Amino acid sequence: MREPQRQAANWADQWGIGWDLREIDGVQVIGHGGSINGFKSLLTVVPERQSALVLLTNSGRGDVVNRAVERWWIERELGLRLPERPRVTLDDTALTQMAGRYHGPDTTIDLVPDGGNLRLEMTAPGPNGGDPVAWPAETLTPIGGRDFLVTSGAGAGERVDIVPDRDDR
């Protein structure tokens, strides 16, 4: 379960069977998060240190708190240092190929090129469910060919992987 099965998308480095897998300062960190109807959860386990963290919030944007508490716990309690993600430069053509409107069951996301980054504008259910609202825009800074780091807004610190469709979009 803790052996890498494939490259993860935006939440970890690798994916095991049911676990996201990361390595921090040479130590394996595994976890699994979840969400439903205005709740966010996170389980992070560091087997080598015989330590675990469990978080549950009652907010649709609770992952912001979960990430901050997890970072504090990893750095302060475990003495591990989370790596900084290196920034890369993508040309306007690459950014324009990823720009556009993306739809989910109850979410619409517009990605707009913005000075070497992408601006994410999202309409989705409110923080505790309900009617869709326009969320404040967030900045996505490139850290790979299709990998981005949210560098402003409520999602700051999240990784985003823009996966092309059959038309390479």
In angstroms, the Cα distances linking 51 to 22, 34, 43, 47 are: 15, 20, 11, 6
pLDDT of residue 161: 84
pLDDT grade for 137, boundaries at 50, 70 and 90: very high
Of the candidates 44, 77, 110, which is a domain's last residue?
A: 77
Distance CA 85, CA 157 (A): 10
Q: Are residues 154 and 104 in the same domain?
A: yes
pLDDT grade for 8, boundaries at 50, 70 and 90: low
8 A C-beta contact, residue 138 and residue 155? yes
| β-bridge mates for residue 117, sequence order | 114
Residue with tokens 């049911």: 18
- 3-class secondary structure, 109: strand
140 or 34: which carries more pLDDT confidence?
140
pTM: predicted TM-score of the whole model, two decimal places? 0.70
Q: For the chain, how many structural domains are there in total? A: 2
Q: Residue 30: which domain range?
A: 6-77
How many C-beta atoms lie closer than 10 Å to residue 167's C-beta?
5
8 A C-beta contact, residue 149 and residue 161? no
At 67-122, the pLDDT tens digits run: 889 999 999 999 999 888 788 999 999 999 999 999 888 889 999 999 999 999 99
pLDDT grade for 1, boundaries at 50, 70 and 90: low
Of the candidates 77, 111, 127, which is a domain's last residue?
A: 77
